[in-house]
Amino acid sequence: MNRFLMLAAAAAVPLAAVQAQAPMTPATYVKMAGASDQYEIQSSKLVLATTRNAKLRDFANQMVTDHTKSTADVTAAAKADGLTPMPPMPDADGLKKLAALRAAKGAARDTLYVQQQKMAHQKALKLHTDYSSAGTATNLKSVAAQIVPVVQMHYDMVSAM
């Protein structure tokens, strides 16, 4: 038993070292926020083209509107903080999820979309919450704090579906 506890403690040391990393750079935050928004926008437009579920349609329309706004807000804040942000693009994970949505049909697509949205909003909530508390660029930190309650609302909405 003691040997197990020693192994568990030894395994936790590298994890603690990883968690004590330097704060995320402003450029990394902008890139990750943009990738998250682009996945949200593109996946929602894909589902809007095929879903017959009115509640899901309302949710997807709100995702397009809100994530287009957050992209504009993050871009403006980045410029105010002296950065030159690149146009946002989905990351590898987002591209993989989009491909899976394209491959799914009918109700299976709707179900997959809801599952993906739950995970994507958990990830986005962590990103914006972390940057709002530990970010180093003033304007980006402020906009991240403004985005947190919106993403929380999205998560709550999709969790209720």
Q: What is the pLDDT of residue 24?
A: 86
Q: What is the pLDDT of residue 22?
A: 62
Instruction: Please list, in sequence order, all residues whose beta carbon lies within 8 angstroms of the beta carbon of residue 28, skipping any fewer than 6 positions away.
Output: none
Q: What is the pLDDT of residue 23?
A: 73
Which run of H or of E encompasses 22? none
Classify 23 in phi/psi space as left (phi over 0), alpha (psi -120 to 50) or beta: beta
Q: Which pair of structure tokens corresponds to residue 35?
A: 């990738």
Measured in residues, the chain has a length of 161
Contact between 30 and 85 under an 8 Å Cβ cutoff? The reply is yes
Alpha helices in the chain (DSSP H): 2-19, 26-48, 54-80, 92-103, 106-134, 138-159
CA–CA gap between residue 7 and residue 139 (Å, rounded): 44
Residue 21 DSSP code: P
pTM to 2 decimal places: 0.83
Residue stretches of the chain with pLDDT short of 50 = 1-20
Query: What DSSP assignment string belongs to 41-81?
Result: HHHHHHHHTT---HHHHHHHHHHHHHHHHHHHHHHHHHHHT
Q: What is the pLDDT of residue 21?
A: 58
